[in-house]
Amino acid sequence: MEKFLWGSATAAYQCEGAWNVDGKGNSIWDDFCHSEANVKGITGDVSCDFYHHYKEDIRMMAECGQTTYRFSISWSRILPKEDHVVNEAGFKFYDDVLAECKKYNIVPNVTLVHYDLPDYIGNKGGWLYDKVADEFAYYASVVFKHFGDRIPLYVTINEPTHNASCAYLTGNYPPNEKNVNHYAKCIYNMVMCNAKAIREFRKLDLNAKIGLVHASCSADILVDSEEYRVAQRNCEWFINGCVLDPAIKGEFDKDFVLKVKESNIDLSFVNEDDLAIIKENTIDFLGQNAYCRNVVKPYTTGETKVTVNNSGKGPAREGKIIKGWFESDFNDSMKLNKWGREIYPKCIYNCLIRRKKAYGDIPIYITECGHGAYDVADENGYVEDDDRIAFLNDFIYWILKAKEEGCNVKGFYVWSTMDLYSWINGYEKRYGLVRVDYNDPELPRIPKKSYYWYKEFIKEHSL
């Protein structure tokens, strides 16, 4: 029987550093972080420098007993310019990372784009660019042909809904807009990117699988009434169905499309040829990230607005008002993290049960699960991160319960392997199993208590 995979995850911009070496082009995150729009002035230029520390990081994964590693490829390292000329040094870096994984029998799970579009795509409109799906499919085919089945698990895009929401509703990720029509077009183009990349993947008949990583868990309500259930359904469409239905079932839900049209959201870009491509090119597995749930109630008033807490300084809650659809509700008795996010581990159980109901037995990997915190290190750099251990332990409890009840869960990844750049929040919000001492130019790695806890946990749970 196939073994359950236990591992951890990172993403290129957040950990690699080496932003301008060995022929790499700029990504929209390089441009954004170097611009005035980046008010905190913190960048991923160096971060924890995985580019030069990957051997050490992968060795530490292996010593922890991890059997899989999720990372992303920087599109700008592979195709730095719009002329489509491949940067061989980019391939070499990821060849080396894969060889290191192989040395320790660590299964690579590799994402093609984790937020960091190349600047030349960004300059043409980024996710809104009419040819973004063709460009993405081209890049994907170059990657598939080079790495082939050395990568058994490919992921097209990381968190389409979260990325689109931050970029086009909250406005905290580049291109920093607040525009519902652009949000809708972004989601549609990402769905097309996914389908067109899968079409390239199938042509090669690799001994590998392809999936998509999704952000949101589930929508919950605190009052059981018809009105609240409608708000819940609207939220499920908004945060889940809009991407998961086309990616898994090959089509958008008809009632969802009606609702979008009733809301006067521009859908003029939708065309029949695209819908046929979506129909033919669905994912093999779902990557589900697990952080928190959405608690919602019926929409009351106000324009569409999505807020997050990037300050980490207080109780400001994340929240959504989606005009005519739903708005956030708050259960004041719940525990929150410092960034105003509810800590509710059962959300992943509810999510998995609902995914099974909606999408049957599609294999699911929990591709990220983690606790952001201000870690405090002792004089040796050691962090006793008991809150993180409790968070992970509780989430895993609910994941394994869902698995026992028949959900087809096949693996789990802690976010993150080591400390790395947290989008907009910088370096003080930490998620790693391993501490990185950013004050020391050598960027030493020091395993945290959670690393040792995970090591024991994996030993005891070799499923």
For the record, the structure tokens of 151 come out as 């990568």
For residue 425, state whether it binds ligand BG6 (rule: CB under 6 A): yes
Residue 303 a catalytic site member? no
For the record, the structure tokens of 428 come out as 């003080």
Instruction: Return the biggest CA–CA distance within the chain.
Output: 62
Q: Which stretch binds ligand BG6 (CB under 6 A): 27-35, 49-57, 246-254, 421-429?
A: 421-429
For residue 309, state whether it binds ligand BG6 (rule: CB under 6 A): no
Residue 159 a catalytic site member? yes
- Sign, Cα dihedral of 287, 289, 290, 295: negative
Closer of 175 and 432 to ligand BG6 (Cβ): 432
- Of 159, 200, 236, 342, which residue is the catalytic one? 159
Q: CB of 157: closest distance to ligand BG6 in angstroms?
A: 11
Q: Which of 53, 182, 429, 445 binds ligand BG6 (CB under 6 A)?
A: 429
Positions in 350-389 near ligand BG6 (CB under 6 A): 368, 372
- Report which residue's Cβ sits closest to ligand BG6: 422
Q: CB of 115: closest distance to ligand BG6 in angstroms?
A: 7
For residue 415, state whether it binds ligand BG6 (rule: CB under 6 A): yes
Letters for 82-111 (x = contact with ligand BG6 by CB under 6 A, - = none) are: ------------------------------
Positions in 112-171 near ligand BG6 (CB under 6 A): 158-159, 162
Q: At 32, which amino acid appears?
A: F
For residue 413, state whether it binds ligand BG6 (rule: CB under 6 A): no
Q: Collect all residues with Cβ–Cβ distance below 8 Å to 327 and sequence separation of at least 6.
A: 231, 296, 297, 298, 299, 300, 302, 319, 320, 321
For residue 342, state whether it binds ligand BG6 (rule: CB under 6 A): no
For residue 32, state whether it binds ligand BG6 (rule: CB under 6 A): no
Q: How many chain residues interact with ligand BG6 (CB under 6 A)?
A: 14
For residue 423, state whether it binds ligand BG6 (rule: CB under 6 A): yes
| Residues found near ligand BG6 in the complex (CB under 6 A) | 11, 14, 158-159, 162, 215, 289, 368, 372, 415, 422-423, 425, 429
User: Which sequence positions are flagged as catalytic?
Assistant: 159, 368
